[in-house]
Amino acid sequence: MEILDRLDELKGLALETGDYELVDGLSHVFETFITRYCDSRHTALNTRMRRHVQPSKAYMN
């Protein structure tokens, strides 16, 4: 994931220059990106599972 590498690189540069406000902002962006990515993967997996798993007749009644 190139975007995560770039965020990490920018965070390292911000640390080197002492811009801790930027470090915090980049950390927030990183966390938000990971959360959104994981949520989207979870949703896609649930959708696929619902399509391929047929509920039993007892469950449907």
Contact at 8 Å (CB) between 4 and 32?
Answer: no
Mean pLDDT computed over 32-49:
92
Q: Across all residues in the chain, what is the average pLDDT?
A: 87
Whether residue 41 is predicted with pLDDT greater than 80 in this model: the reply is yes
Of the pLDDT bands very low, low, confident and very high (cuts 50, 70, 90), residue 42 is: very high
Asked if 23 and 14 touch (Cβ cutoff 8 Å), the reply is yes
Please, which pLDDT band fits residue 49 given cuts at 50, 70 and 90? confident
Domain extent listing, the chain: 2-60
Contact (Cβ atoms closer than 8 angstroms) between residue 10 and residue 26: yes
Residue, of 37 and 59, whose pLDDT is higher: 37
Determine the pLDDT at residue 19.
95
What pTM was estimated for this model as a whole?
Answer: 0.64
